[in-house]
Every structure is written in C-alpha cells, then in structure tokens.
Chain A
Amino acid sequence: MNRMRISWLALYVCVYLLFLYAPVLLLPIFSFNDSSIVAFPLSGFTLNWFALLWQTETLHSAVRNSIMIAAITAIVSTMLGLCAARAASRYAFRMKRGIMGLIMVPLVLPEIVVGVSLLVVILQFGFELSLWSIVLGHVLICTPFSVVVLSTAFNNLDRSLEEAAIDLGETRWSTFRLISLPLIMPGVIASLLIAFTISLDEFIIAFFLAGTEVTLPVYIWSLLRFPARLPSVLALGTILLAASLILLVSAEFIRRRGLRRTGATDRGGLF
C-alpha cells in the first residue's frame, strides 16, 4: 500500500517536471531547425540562426542596452537596498512601518501600473523617454528584492563584532567598511545578481518607457509579431540558457572545492 502511494507521487512528479521543462526543451530544438516558421513538423538541421545572430546589428544594440541598464539597476538598487535594510534591521525610527511599506510596495504592484504611472509623469514634465527612464523604473521594482536579501544578511550579522570595532576606536564608517561589509558580502552579491536578472528580463516597464532605443525583451516582443528573425532569438535564448547553467554549475563546483579544502561541513548549496 505504502509503496504504491509513493510510486503514484513519483509518477506525478515526472509528469509535472515534463510540464515545467516543455518550453525549455523546445528552445534548442527550434534554434537548430531549418525553417523561419517556429512550428512542427521540423524541417532539418541548421546552424544558420546562430550565424545570423552575429550579423543582426539591432539585436546587438538591444543586448548592449539591456546589459547596461541591468548593471546600473543592480548597483543602484543594491545601494538603496543597503540603506533601507541597514536602517530597518538596526534602528527604531518614526513611521518605520509606513516608510518601509512604501519602499516595498512595488513587490505587490502590477508592473503595468508602475510603467503607466512613470510614463504619465515623464511625459507631463516634458522629458524625453530614453534608456534612463527604463533604469528609473527598474530600480524601483528591484529595490524591494535587494532589501529582502540584504535584511536577511544584516539580521544574521553578529552585532557584537561591530561594537567591538567601535570600542577599539574605529569610526562608524570604517567599521561598516572593514567589518560589516565583508561579512554581508554574500548578501550584496546575491542582491546584485537578483536585481541584474530581474532587470535583464523585465518587459512591461521597458515597453512603456522605451524611447527610440530598445532593450532585449522589447526587441524580442517586436519579433514575435514579425517573426522572420525569431529563430535567431531562440538561438540567443539557447546560448543564454547554456551560459547560465554552465555558470551556476561551475560556481557550485568551486564552492564545494573550497569547502573541502577548509574541511567545513556542507550546508546548503546546489548538489
């Protein structure tokens, strides 16, 4: 009886994983398929779509714009997140709940509302839409994620270390730089990566706030309706997926080797 139940659950898990992986499995299939129409039946193997990637200048500039926006967003929202997380985890101050609530609101706000409201204000004040207006919106939605990640880091930090540094004559700033910052570095890196990833993939806000220059998701959106070059975008998707997997796996291997060298017990990690 018990064994029967486990196998039903295992069967369900297999079917569900197939459901989860269905789109990702199709991505490489169509990026090697010799047809500009993304549909079955397949018509043969080709590497043309990968070759085409190198020749499409609009795609290159969209990728460059996206990476630049994501990098700036990651840095700015991590700095804002550091301020908010530090204040929230260390000090009791007036209207703390209201202030922190406002900073965290973008978590529950539909992105279209953020996009629309920024669009209204930017156009009313007569500013031009540009890549910078996208950065403004992305920082807004990424900061709450940075705050969450960094709050955990600050809460796990042993306060007595900072107190000891101050007792030994360090200033608040040098204590932060020499003691706190190195200890919360994993949180800072996580915050940078999360903000970078969110910004890189964000479409709605970029769609509303893009001027003449576009980001990668906005470019992909335009291709979804004029699909002649779509398979080359799928090829790009394949490359990006492979790259992020290789990156993750190698980071995990390095982490485990470091653990083995120091003889620490493994807690957390991927494998």
Chain B
Amino acid sequence: MSPGSLRSWLRSPDGRGLTLVSPPFIYAVLLLAAPLAAVAAFSFWTQNYLDLDRTFTIANYREVWTEPVYRVLMLRSLTVSALVTAVTVALAFPIAYFVSFRVEPARKPLWIFLITIPFWTSYLMRIFLWKVILGYNGVVNGSLLQLGIISEPLNFILYNVNAVVITLSHAWAPFAILPIFVALEKIDRSLLEAATDLGDGPLQRFFSITLPLAFPGIFAAALIVFIPTVGDYVTPRLVGGPSGLMISNMIELQFKKANNPPLGAALAVSAMFIVTAISLIFVRISRRYLRERA
C-alpha cells in the first residue's frame, strides 16, 4: 500500500473506525480471546504432578462427560439456574407491573430507586446475611418458633439447594425487574382503553394485551438471570452446604487445591458450551414466538 492510499484509507470511515476501536479490541484480544484459547488448549493436555504434558488428549472431556460426580454437579447447576430464573422472573413481574401501571409517573423513578437500594451493599455481605436469616438460629426459624407455628427449627432451608435458590433469587431480583419494567412501560396505554371499550374485562385485557407485549422483557430477564447464575461460585459455597455445591466450586477446586488445571479447563469449557447452547436455543424459540405474534 502506498503512503498516499494509506493516508486516504486512514481518513475513510473504515480506517477511522478501525483505528478508534483498536485499543479496546487489542485489549480484548490479549486479555480475553488469548486466555480463553489458552484454557481451551489446557483442556486437551494432562497434568502430571508439577509438569504439564502437552500431548493432545480428550481424556479430560471423557472424564467430565462420563464421571457421575461431574454430571451431577453440571445438572444441578442447570436445574438451580432454571429454578432461580423461573422464581425470580415470576416474583419480579408483579412488582414491575405495579410500578409501571399503578404508580404515578412522577413517582416511578423513586420506586425504581427503592428497589435498587438493597443492592448497594457488598454482594458477599448480602449472601452471608441470608445465611443468618435462614440458619438454625436464624431469623426465619426464630420468628416461626416464637409465633408457635413450628416446634423445632426447620432444617430444610439452609445448606441445601433451597437456600441457594432463595439467595440467588434475591441477588438477581433487580436484573429481572428492570427489563420487565422497561417492556411494560413501552406498552401503548390506548390499546388497553380500546380493549375496555370493546368490552374486555381486566383479566382478559391482561392476558390478551399486557402479558404478550411484556414477553420481550420477560425473555430478556430470563436470559440475564440464567446465564450468570449457572456459574455462580459464592452462593453455593456459603449457603449450599455439600448437597448444594455447583459446577464453579468444582472448577475452582480443580484449579487450586486439586492442582488439575486441565480437568478444570475441560469443566469450564463444557459448562460454557452447554450454557451457550441453551441460551441460543432459548433466543431462537423466543424470537420465533415473537415473530409469530407480530
């Protein structure tokens, strides 16, 4: 390329755009793409105590996909995430609906602020405080005992999957409320008036107009909650007990204490693959649904 044409390329939109985007792009290549490629490479190698055997093998993947312990953890992570997603979205919808349809427009920002205040504290402290709430001498058991509703502390609410689901549903609540709220805000209120004029009752109006038009927000909320919860490390570790551990805890174990990074890498790659596949299927189904509606 001659200097003249290089200069004119640098002034073209293509040249200007690429020059401008190069610092963040190079950063992402060096610190994201390359490390991810390294993890992928690791997953085909073997750890011999202190040395790394770089001969290609799929033994790690065979272990990850056949050993029951990994399959149990993987399935549990997916089930817990699916449950958390369902619970969080179901609990969040009425709140989003309330703020969008029942609160005065001028007060809406205050309500959104009210909903986000509890999340201005450290993530770790919030999760730990759930342990205090759900524990043997915790708030729930204490109050229920005092009220005479139960005679012995409940055991099934801490150190198991239930505790993980409750805690994660709390941690991700605003991420579900906000997208649903945005979708509800976009609904043209005159549609509802038209339906009333045509004789629809409140329930019919809700199911034939409000809910279908809120679906984009609901789908977005479901994805936003599902993807990160599969890989959550802190919550299962703090409130899950042995029966509530998830795949991230195993990945960390392999990279640190068990000193088997290749196996940990194979676990991480497999988990990412499964989550990506599920998310893509979900996106495709929801797109088709929305297109058929439109």
Contact residues of A with B, CB < 8 Å? 2, 5-6, 9-10, 12-13, 16-17, 19-24, 26-27, 30, 38-41, 79-81, 83-84, 86-88, 90-94, 96, 99-100, 102-103, 105-106, 108-114, 116-121, 124, 136-137, 139-140, 143, 147, 201, 203-204, 208, 216-217, 220-221, 224, 233-234, 237, 240-241, 244-245, 248, 266, 268-271
Contacts and interface: CB of A to CB of B under 8 A. Distances in A.
Contacts of B130: 22-23
B17 A91 contact: yes
Interface residues of B, number: 78
A80 B23 CA distance: 7
A248 B13 CA distance: 41
Contacts, number: 228
Contacts of A111: 228, 231, 233
Secondary structure call for the A interface? helix
Interface stretch (B36-44, B62-70, B178-186, B213-221): B36-44
Interface of B: 13-18, 20-25, 27-29, 31-36, 38-39, 42, 91, 94-95, 97-98, 102, 106, 109-110, 113-115, 117-118, 120-126, 128-130, 132-133, 135, 137-139, 142, 170, 173, 202, 227-228, 230-234, 238, 248, 251-252, 255, 261, 264-265, 268, 271-272, 275, 279
B123 A6 contact: no
Q: Which of B21, B38, B97 has the most CB of A within 10 A?
A: B21
B32 A270 contact: no
11 contacts: A23-B170, A26-B133, A108-B279, A116-B251, A117-B39, A120-B265, A121-B35, A204-B234, A220-B125, A233-B125, A269-B109
Given A6-B102, A26-B129, A88 B173 contact: no
B20 to A, nearest CB: 4
Contact of A106 (B32, B234, B238, B279): B32
Contact of A24 (B21, B22, B118, B138): B118
